[in-house]
Chain A
Amino acid sequence: MNFASTAIEILSALTAAANLFIIAAGLSLVFGALRIINLAHGSFYMIGALVMASLLGPGQASHLFWPALILSPLLMAALGAVLERLLFRRIYQAEHLIQLLLSYALSLMLADLALRIWGADSRTVPPPSWLAGALSVGGATFPLYDLFVIALAAGVGLGLWALLRRTRFGWEIRAAVEDPESLALCGRNVPALFTAVFALGAFLAGLGGAAAAPLQAIGPGMDSAILVSAFIVTVIGGLGSIAGAALGAAVIGLFQAVGTLWLPTWAPAFIFLAMIVVLVIRPSGLLGAAAQGWGGEG
């Protein structure tokens, strides 16, 4: 194993981690602000990818790639906002089990509707033409599009940081996480804020799906597959923490790459073992603050 192939290993691990981060950040954000575990998060990811494929049309016109990459997550945000207003809003006070089952019911329905609309075939989406090539490093090649996904994730991370730390909206979200009642007393519209956060979560899931479309085959089943991975990432990083999601994604991405190389049989098991160890030793995750309500005395 030479330097170039090690670099490729790490880069491809980073690509997987980058994509996971975009999705996990949305899951974590929604949990942090709304205390909701959204099992339908994977559905936004899958539908985001499918919408991406549809927007490019049957000819897979790659000049439509950029508009589609923006429009598809926006549509997911709209879908998320509607679902939050119609359904999730009703159960913020309910038991956690009820919240989980509501989002699970939703994921079943969305999976079926997606199957209805897009059919059972798996699809592929081409990257934009100037990103279709590959980068050559010392005899090893690396797809340019994968580099773009890494850059996109970095951009999303910075954007979220700026949003949460530098804007009024971000301040309100953080205040809502800590104490929703006094925020309402301050005259803030908390329900509207919750809708916005939920929509932002759906946007990130949709963006993850749209960005992942050229990386893999897209079709039924990708919703539940990503949900488990995104869960592991958020739990390891710390539920509610965006930086935790980034760290968790990097850990899992590297774990997968190294594991596949050295211990292919045991690698998938190690990931769940890691999750178990983190939950036992540090339930709030590597970077998470202890979550109120869910973990405390009830």
Chain B
Amino acid sequence: MALSRRSTWGGALVLLLIAPFVLPTPWLLVLQNALVLGLFAVATNLLVGWSGLVSFGQAAFYGLGAYTVALAWLHGLAPFWLAFCAAPLIAALVAGLTGAIALRARKLYFALLTLAFSELFYVLAEQLYDITNGANGIFGAMVPDILIVPRNGFYFTLAIVAAALFVLHRIFHSPFGLALRAIRERRVRAEALGLDVARHELAAFALSGAFCGLAGALYVVHDQTAYPELLDWVKSGEPVIVAVIGGISTFAGPLVGALFYQIAHDALVTLTRDWQLVLGALLLLVVLFRPAGLASLLERKER
């Protein structure tokens, strides 16, 4: 079993490694974008799927990661590589602080609190004009020239996403990951068994924030911009939708959802003006008939 699992991951990695030689550049960039979204979705699913904490505010940390890189460049605070490494740490720190407040509420009220934080950060990014350029966003040569070559940018993104997913996968199977799932299933019992539920949830929130921040920093490698809409509730909804489309109950589900969503989106945009309609219909069908996600569909077919 372990061998088969490993070989599937390996096979996927090999396919991605040869992608730059097979795919035309525009689609390579789409795939790069999909990888970033995949990391964002798995990091969000650490809360939504693993821990049962439905957050509608992960874009706050995603955007923070992007703004860390962009602001460091704009104000000449730090070179790109340093800012890139700092992005997940800063995101984790802010996630820890907001999580400490948001986790005081449960369920819907937790979701609403995370949404409020997301919108708060969004408004700040838009209003603090002198620091952030306001609604304009930040744009320019903030990424080293070497990463602007599409193939290099892709490999860099692939390496970071693969490493991050490896770490996340280890966390998923660690005692900590199991504890999160235990809390999700039976909170009261987990508490009675002596698990420090609050501390586990806070740690999960900070960890998720760190990886969302990393995804945001990778977004800058792709687009070389940061702008307020990276932090708003619509952006926060994206990884949740993607995770649901793929399936929130498994580790790889959100990744499948992200690849599917990004590629379907980019293909649809070129084919039809009505991609929102198609996307909405797709989401509707998944929600009504496949609440376990598309990943469960692939499973069926194999049988």
Q: Is B116 an interface residue (CB 8 A)?
A: yes
Assess whether A112 is in contact with B123, with CB atoms less than 8 Å apart.
Answer: no
Given contacts A96-B107, A97-B54, contact A87 B281 (CB under 8 A): no
Give the contacting residue for B291; candidates A94, A100, A105, A291; CB below 8 A: A94
Bound complex: CA A235 to CA B277 (Å):
29
Bound complex: CA A268 to CA B120 (Å):
8
List the B side residues contacting A297 at CB < 8 Å. Answer: 106, 187-188
Point out which of B48, B105, B107, B241 has the most chain A C-beta atoms below 10 A from its C-beta: B107
Q: Is B269 an interface residue (CB 8 A)?
A: no
Assess whether A235 is in contact with B120, with CB atoms less than 8 Å apart.
Answer: no
Assess whether A295 is in contact with B123, with CB atoms less than 8 Å apart.
Answer: no
Instruction: List A residues 189-227 near B (Cβ within 8 Å).
Output: 224
Nearest chain A residue, comparing its CB with the CB of B282: A105
Q: Is B101 an interface residue (CB 8 A)?
A: yes
Q: Is A154 an interface residue (CB 8 A)?
A: no
B contacts, CB < 8 Å to A: 48, 54, 101, 104-109, 111-113, 115-117, 119-120, 123-124, 126-129, 187-188, 233-234, 237, 240-241, 244, 248, 274, 276-277, 279-284, 287-288, 291
Point out which of B112, B123, B124, B244 has the most chain A C-beta atoms below 10 A from its C-beta: B112
List the A side residues contacting B111 at CB < 8 Å. Answer: 96, 100
Q: Is A111 an interface residue (CB 8 A)?
A: yes
Assess whether B108 is in contact with A275, with CB atoms less than 8 Å apart.
Answer: no
Assess whether A112 is in contact with B277, with CB atoms less than 8 Å apart.
Answer: yes
Interface residues on A, range: 35 or more
Bound complex: CA A197 to CA B257 (Å):
35
Nearest chain B residue, comparing its CB with the CB of A94: B291
Q: What mask results when residues 256 to 291 of chain A are scored 1 for a CB within 8 Å of chain B, else 0?
A: 000000000110110011011001100100000001
Assess whether B283 is in contact with A105, with CB atoms less than 8 Å apart.
Answer: yes
Assess whether A112 is in contact with B187, with CB atoms less than 8 Å apart.
Answer: no
Bound complex: CA A203 to CA B126 (Å):
34
Bound complex: CA A237 to CA B141 (Å):
46
Assess whether B280 is in contact with A112, with CB atoms less than 8 Å apart.
Answer: yes
Given contacts A272-B119, A280-B113, A295-B106, contact A102 B284 (CB under 8 A): yes
28 A-B contacts (beta carbon < 8 Å): A87-B288, A90-B288, A91-B287, A94-B291, A96-B111, A98-B244, A98-B287, A101-B240, A102-B284, A102-B287, A105-B281, A105-B282, A107-B280, A108-B279, A109-B277, A112-B276, A113-B277, A228-B233, A239-B108, A268-B126, A273-B120, A275-B116, A276-B117, A291-B108, A295-B105, A295-B109, A297-B187, A297-B188
Given contacts A265-B128, A269-B123, A272-B123, contact A104 B241 (CB under 8 A): yes
- B21 shortest CB reach to chain A, Å: 36
A contacts, CB < 8 Å to B: 37, 87, 90-91, 94-98, 100-102, 104-109, 111-113, 116, 224, 228, 231-232, 235, 239, 265-266, 268-269, 272-273, 275-276, 279-280, 283, 291, 294-298
- A43 shortest CB reach to chain B, Å: 11
Give the contacting residue for A97; candidates B112, B233, B244, B277; CB below 8 A: B244
Assess whether A295 is in contact with B107, with CB atoms less than 8 Å apart.
Answer: yes
Nearest chain A residue, comparing its CB with the CB of B104: A280
- A271 shortest CB reach to chain B, Å: 8
Bound complex: CA A279 to CA B108 (Å):
11
Assess whether A283 is in contact with B284, with CB atoms less than 8 Å apart.
Answer: no
- B181 shortest CB reach to chain A, Å: 15
Assess whether A279 is in contact with B113, with CB atoms less than 8 Å apart.
Answer: yes
Assess whether A105 is in contact with B107, with CB atoms less than 8 Å apart.
Answer: no
Bound complex: CA A100 to CA B237 (Å):
10
Assess whether A101 is in contact with B120, with CB atoms less than 8 Å apart.
Answer: no
Point out which of A105, A296, A297 has the most chain B C-beta atoms below 10 A from its C-beta: A105
List the A side residues contacting B123 at CB < 8 Å. Answer: 268-269, 272
- B294 shortest CB reach to chain A, Å: 14
List the A side residues contacting B119 at CB < 8 Å. Answer: 228, 272
Give the contacting residue for A106; candidates B113, B116, B280; CB below 8 A: B280
List the B side residues contacting A116 at CB < 8 Å. Answer: 274, 277
Assess whether A276 is in contact with B101, with CB atoms less than 8 Å apart.
Answer: yes
Bound complex: CA A94 to CA B282 (Å):
18
Bound complex: CA A121 to CA B58 (Å):
33
List the A side residues contacting B237 at CB < 8 Å. Answer: 104
- A79 shortest CB reach to chain B, Å: 15
Given contact pairs A94-B291, A116-B277, a sample of 8 additional A-B residue pairs in the complex whose CB atoms are under 8 Å apart: A37-B108, A100-B54, A105-B281, A109-B276, A268-B123, A269-B124, A275-B112, A295-B108
Given contacts A105-B281, A112-B274, contact A272 B113 (CB under 8 A): no
Give the contacting residue for B283; candidates A97, A104, A296; CB below 8 A: A104
Bound complex: CA A113 to CA B129 (Å):
35
What are the 4 A-B residue pairs with the smallest beta carbon separation, nearest first?
A: A108-B280, A109-B280, A294-B108, A105-B283
